[in-house]
Structure 1
Amino acid sequence: MTATQTSYLPCLKRVGGSWQLQVDGKPRLILGGELQNSSMSSARYMKTVWRDLKGMGINTVLGPVTWEDIEPEEGCFKFSELDTIIQDAQSDGLRLILLWFGSFKNGSSSYVPPWVKTNIQRFPRMQLRQRDGMLHHENVISILHDECLEADRRAFTKLMDHIKETDVSRTVIAMQVQNEVGLLGGSRDVGPVAEKVFQAGVPTELVKFLEDNWDNLPQEFTNSFPTFAAARVDTQRKGLVKSWEQHFGKSSYTDELFMAYHYACYVEKIAAAGKQAYNIPLFTNAWLPMPGTKDASGNIASGGAVPGEYPSGGPTPNLLHVWQWFTPSLDFISPDIYAGDYSQICDRYAGNGQPFFIPEQRRDEYGARRIWEAIGSHGALGAAPFGVDTLRTEDCSFRSHYELLSSISPLLLKAREESAFICGFFFDEIPLNSHDDKAHIIKLATSYELSISRSFVFGQPGPGYGLIIELDTDRFLLVGKGFKVEFKARSDTSVVSGILRFDEKEVVDQTGTLRTARHLNGDESRSGMWANMPCDESHIGESIVPIAIPARTGIAEVQVYAVEQGIPQVVTNGFAKESVA
């Protein structure tokens, strides 16, 4: 029986206002972990880490499948190592997202097979001009020649065909096509062929896309091309066949747009062939720029302020719209978030109508706290810290976060289906002698304004994280640690708002069924002022009163109430109702 003969294939489904990944016909939250680059080259090595990964709370492992490993000789494909890896992952109850390291990985072509690396005539490289004016071949395949594209497309199609025929358990649930594409060291390829294409007319399809969508493109993007903006309103200049610089002006951003268009077309042809072979979710990822940084320090994974310091032509935030338009076979495009404004990056990649997923991010506690915002406020399919297989299980910062998220994931996914109000957030440590620049987060639910801040302590406030789900207009599920919530009715005629009931909850089964562990009041809620979700360790400072209640389950349900001016209320069975007296 082949994978396509089974009832369900992994797919993406639009539900409510968000996307869900469906696995075995059921929604799945990806609690991911990405392996080091070389780990999946050896099934024997992977046998030593599968159980550790599962012990970290991971349910989905991201790992590379490389072109050089599966096609060491042209036309000779070897899948035995991959087959064993898939079988072993399935045996340990884990799913896989495979990362195709084909023509490109981190701005270079280090994973192409030897028969590609050694034949520069058949598989030309990009070229950059050195300080002495001489052209230099780079370790990156040219995107303006078809030979390597066709070879990569054949290999990727063969891989997808093989997975379709052999992965009956559907252990592989998605595929990343290439890895952090773009050119490092310069803003564009300046070899003879590239120069000829650059001086020729800009493709009509790109010009039309920009003209039709200009007003909806990021301002940072449109501000980079004043020449094009002026030409849009100049009827005498419109419609003329012009070179890239005549259209967009002379700048590194024109170079970057040139590279982005051609990279996107290259990746699309490979993705389209793979999707035709086996229709599971496909995506690619982005190395993100970071203003104020340079790669001169030897950094090879993130950052860079201008094209070439970061991979020029990759699907960065400013070029995301262009990439999405010219890669229709990709289901989404993902950011690798190691630095920068996490919230802003989530906004950009989740706010463009596509599914949102973070395939790489920091693996420390700083990174773990942030996934609560991605999942809670931005509807992320999930996230994956990088390099998890070189951590000890007990040292994995994500372990406790994943265990808590896993326990309530049925409730979270159901709330998404119902388009319920959900928000996620985090608070970092406050440096000594520093001001808390994130004192309150204000969120608007259906009937209440939620003011979210750090959990109450007499001493030094700690970090925090969590999400809130609106169960009903007056009931909320709180999940996480290190925060408190104050509720205020949004009605202009409300005179009193407060907490009616505050219960600590615990999950009793895999469906997310909750039962009450404790009824909380008094010091635990400041006598009804707020719902406090404490840290694992609460500090009392110099206070002589030991109000330092540590976290337990990290789950609570709150029922709130509001009294409208002139409308007396009574409480029946724990629910506020208008009095009929």
Structure 2
Amino acid sequence: MIEIRNRLLYINNSPFVVRGGELQNSSMSSAAHMRPIWKSLSDSNLNTVLGAVTWEQIEPEEGNFDFKELDACIRDARAAGLKLVLLWFGAFKNGMSSYAPSWVKSNPHRFPRVVVKRPDGKLRFTEVLSILSGDETKDADSIAFAKLMSHIRRIDEKHCTVIMVQCENEVGLLSDSIDRSSMAEEQFQSAVPEDLLNFLREDWNSLHPLFKEKFSKPSVTSNGGNWEQVFGESPFTNELFMAYHYAKYVDHVALSGRKEYNIPIYTNVWQNQYGKQGAAAGGGKPGEYPSGGAIGGVLDIWMRFAPTLDFISPDIYVNDYDERCQWYSHKNQPLFIPEQRRDEYGARRMWRAIGEYKAIGACPFGIDSLEYDTWKKHYKLLKEVEPLLIDAYKNDHPMTGFFFDEFNSKAPADVIHHNFPKYRVTIERSRVFGVPDVGYGIIINYSPDSFVLVGTGFQVTLTAADNQLQAGIAKVQEIYFENENLRTLRWMNGDETQSGACIMMPSEKIDYGDFPVAISIPAGSKMAIAHAYTIPSYEG
């Protein structure tokens, strides 16, 4: 059984931490192409691969389904010891409809297209399928998705190779904030649906602050007004209109699949970037990013009107990482990041997502074309500490995650403060006499006076939460796992703890600067247990 429970992914009643990576868009269209890749991904310490299943490939002719390539990919992934997250590229992929079958693309009468306004004010048809011009697209997309889910259940339910499915990919409308086709315009000029107005009134206090920055609480007298009469004339009203209808569309497709196979289903979101323009920055206005997608400002709309989805996931590349993790933990929904940067900058942030937000996973995009071992190193450590993480999840031990980027001498000092029940901790870069290295890690408070520290390039000092007490470090032990048993590697004291002043998790590379004595050591296992104590404070 595969399910979401307490914000975590469970497989056969055990928490599962995704060490994942997303393939390039077309990679999994060919089992032959993927055959030599599966083992290399497994050897890179991944346990999960995200790959596309496209509508055009599995239903090249209406009603005729072909799963040969998918079946072979599932078998080969299973043989390599890997789990799969399948990405349904149905009617929508990155705000476009490029993966729809040719029998859909070539029949605009049956499958109408979006109409947008050009910069010169004239209207033009696009290649994007309209969700507001009848039910043919929604019904055809749903039939194909249901067939896919039914097929997965038939061939894989007892194996649990496929552990989640993404429904569509970064939906929303590009080039304009709203579909301007005649049927869409008719709905836009009609009364705002009462289910939306009632939801906004009843849940106003719990709505995301970004929504309330753009809109006021609808009054009872709003009933019967059209979208601009209720919400005002703006691109954000257009976006709200599209979000409501896209959410209902995706929910209809997801529900068709859920009826066939009940495993976690989610959708992902192209992130906007407030105040910036251009696709690389995410876009600052609806239409520069996909208008109607589940960005923070309309996340509540999606959560309410796409209830079949187990969660909604951000793709984070250039945005403030911590900010987006907070947004998509809204109302305590699970956090899963299916796409993010694949470089060292991105890998460090994975520790923040898992340690602070208990993310199901944080997955680099383009993992199959990555030629260096950045994620191999990080996933090796994550794999080693998974027993400690799972124990922390099961027992609800307090924890936090963090990272330090390249040192900038002109920037303020990087200092992180975190409160545990009995102790306040201060996390800083690991002290060296030269230039500090990058850092990342997780701290787990696994008993009142004990901490597990994972990572490199940081140090921790403790103070007692009770101001009448003072804190000290009883002992620090470097640890490692041997045959799934936790062992002590070294007892750390003296220079390695600054004579008991802090818990040091040293960097992989030490810059001694001009200091002639090597009092710092490079990172070892990158895991340690620290035992603290408190005694009455004395002030003479």
Q: Normalised by the size of structure 2, how large is the TM-score?
A: 0.97
**1:552 is matched with which residue: 524, 527, 539?**
524
- 1:134 offset after TM fit, Å? 2.8
TM-superposed deviation, 1:446: 1.4
**2:476 is matched with which residue?**
502
Aligned mate of 1:291, from 250, 256, 274: 274
1:575 is matched with: none
Which of the residues 210, 231, 247 maps onto 2:230?
Answer: 247
| Pair 1:546–1:407, CA change in 2 (3 A) | same
1:182 is matched with which residue? Answer: 172
- Which segments of 5 or more consecutive residues in structure 2 lack a partner in the other structure? none
Deviation track 1:387-415 (CA, whole Å, cap 9, x = no partner) reads 000113xx031111111111111111111
The aligned counterpart of 1:448 is 423
CA distance in 2, matches of 1:273, 1:71: 16
Asked whether the 8 Å contact 2:177–2:239 carries over to 1, the reply is yes
Instruction: Give the partner amino acid of 1:529.
Output: A
Q: Deviations over 1:334-356 (max 9, x none)?
A: 00000111111101112322111
Q: How does 1:6-405 map to 2 (within 5 A)?
A: 9-14=1-6, 19-144=7-132, 145-167=134-156, 168-225=158-215, 228-229=216-217, 231-232=218-219, 238-295=221-278, 299=279, 303-392=282-371, 395-405=372-382
- The answer as to whether partners of 1:100 and 1:176 remain within 8 angstroms in 2 is yes
Instruction: State the SS of the aligned residue for 1:277.
Output: coil
How far has the Cα of 1:302 moved from its partner? 5.8
SS in 1 for 2:331: coil
SS of the residue 2:149 aligns to = helix
Structure 2 counterparts to residues 553-572 of structure 1, below 5 A: 553-565=525-537
1:138 Cα offset (Å):
1.3
Measured against aligned partners, the alpha-carbon deviations of 1:276-318 in whole angstroms (never above 9, x if no partner) come to 10000000000000123222xxx4x661001000000000011
Q: Contact (CA 8 Å) 2:174, 2:288: kept in 1 or not?
A: yes
Q: Is the 8 A contact 1:302 1:310 kept in 2?
A: no
- In the alignment, structure 1 residue 416 sits paired with structure 2 residue 393: yes
Separation (CA, whole Å) in 1 of partners of 2:108 and 2:406: 52
Shift, 1:24, TM fit: 3.1
Percentage of matched positions with identical amino acids: 47
* 1:402-481 matched pairs, under 5 angstroms: 402-431=379-408, 433-435=409-411, 437=412, 439-481=414-456
Q: Which residue of 2 aligns with 1:573?
A: none
CA shift digits 1:89-109 (9 cap, x unpaired): 000000000000000000000
Structure 1: gaps spanning 5 or more residues: 1-8, 568-581
Distance, in Å, in 2 between the alignment partners of 1:312 and 1:248 is: 16
Could you tell me whether the CA contact under 8 Å between 1:425 and 1:466 is conserved in 2? yes
How many residue pairs get aligned? The number is 537
User: Are the equivalent residues in 2 in contact too, given 1:539–1:548 (CA < 8 A)?
Assistant: no
Q: CA deviation at 1:37?
A: 0.1
Is the Cα contact below 8 Å between 1:505 and 1:553 reproduced in 2?
yes
Q: Aligned to 1:306, what secondary structure does the other structure show? A: coil
State whether structure 2 residue 517 is matched by structure 1 residue 517. no
CA offset at residue 439 of structure 1?
1.9
Structure 2 CA distance for aligned equivalents of residues 278 and 42 of structure 1: 24
**Which amino acid letter does the alignment assign opposite residue 273 of structure 1?**
S
Partners in 2 of 1:547 and 1:166 — Cα distance? 58
- Does the CA contact (< 8 Å) of 2:495 and 2:520 recur in 1? no
Q: Distance in 1 between matches of 2:94 and 2:481?
A: 42
Contact 2:430 2:436 in 1 (8 A): yes
Note the alpha carbon deviations across 1:537-567, whole angstroms, 9 max, x for none. 0111111111231001000010111211489
| TM-score for both structures, normalised by structure 1 | 0.91
2:507 maps to 535
Residues 507-557 of structure 1, C-alpha deviation per residue, up to 9 Å, x if partnerless? 1134xx311100010000000000110111011111111123100100001
Contact 1:11 1:280 in 2 (8 A): yes
CA distance in 1, matches of 2:211, 2:483: 49
Contact map agreement 1:61 1:95 (CA 8 A) in 2? yes
Deviation per CA, 1:236-262: give whole Å up to 9, x if none: xx2530010000000000000000000
CA distance in 1, matches of 2:188, 2:405: 46
In structure 2, distance between residues paired with 1:309 and 1:359: 21
Q: Cα 1:129–1:224, aligned 2, differ >3 Å: closer, same or farther? A: same
Is the 1:96–1:173 contact (alpha carbons within 8 Å) kept by the matching residues of 2?
yes
Equivalent residue of 1:49, what SS? Answer: helix
Distance in 1 of aligned mates of 2:51 and 2:482 = 33
Contact 1:454 1:484 in 2 (8 A): yes
